[in-house]
Amino acid sequence: MKVPICQGLALGLWLALSSACVVAGEGEFYQQAAKAAPPSSSSPLTPAMASEAETQAAPASESWNGVWTGVSSSFALPFGEWLDEQRPWYSGWSGGLAAYYPLKDSVMAADPDNNVGGIEGTNPSLTATFKYSPIGNWFATVSLYHYFDGDLQQPWEPDYTYVFGYSDWRPYTLSLIYSNYGGNRFSPEPGESSTYFRRGTWSLGWKFPVPTPWLRPFSIFDDAAMGCQTDFHYTPEYFDLEGDAYLEHGRSLSLGCKYTITGNWYLNFSLFYYPDSAQKQPWSPDFTYGFGYFDWRPFTFSLQYNNYSGNRYPWNPSVDDTGRLKDGALMLAWSWAL
């Protein structure tokens, strides 16, 4: 089974958005963009981090101190947490449930060899996500998927996905995340593996707030805020459509930002750059976008629209059946934390 892996996407955007909990569904970023499964979601900042962006611009010396504090505190290992007798044994677990509804029909050929006949229709799915943070901001996440119509499940749509690494919601911090949103299977076909680790993506990121004075001319509400994250992505092994083969060393850069309109209502976008243009695939987007209502607190609901398809800038050739509003999806999610 050949599954194209999207190697130019901002891994961990959804994970970084959820500092207190991880809501199921981050893999939709990759499933829609690549037609192959590599997510986040939607924003590099939590509301707590967004509050930093709401503050007045600090003097240059204080700003540089903030940058240094954020960078130098990244990847910390606070072993003292394990010695805290007040910490419950179950502490560190969180997750969520999500219902995902694609706006575009899925098509599955009755005869895959000649693509004759077949079935089509929308194929909603449910996702259950479990996240464990053993220490500090280090974490591991597993998401389990159920498709309402199993016959319409595409080869790149996973039975499960997994993510691990370090991500701190605070501004000016670094993150390092491995994500695998490929067509992972509990019961793979003969000769296939349940998962291919080298086809996952490593992402090194850095978060930063946008100063409030820069936003005021464009904002209607006083609590408007914006935070961004830049990432370098590396995929050891990615699928090249033209060569119909897996190649090595996929690389890309991204800049993702979330604009909080007011309260929990937001808009987000991500821009992508591929240092080697030959590595850019039809499903690799120039940009992605989303909007909706997101509440980072546990035991709350969120409603979002996200479009991670192969969106193109006006000066770049478009790809058929991608980059349209209906190529996006709706997601209703509920989160929890222990």
Q: Give tens-digit pLDDT for 122-179.
A: 889 999 999 999 999 999 999 999 999 888 888 889 999 999 999 999 999 999 999 9
Instruction: Write down the pTM of the prediction.
Output: 0.81
Q: Residue 61: what pLDDT?
A: 56
Coil, strand or helix at 120: strand
Instruction: Using alpha carbons, select from 153, 171, 157 the residue that is nearest to residue 19.
Output: 171
Q: Residue 192: what pLDDT?
A: 93
Q: Give tens-digit pLDDT for 258-280.
A: 999 999 999 999 999 999 999 99
Coil, strand or helix at 17: helix
Rounded Cα–Cα distance for residues 188 and 166 (Å): 30
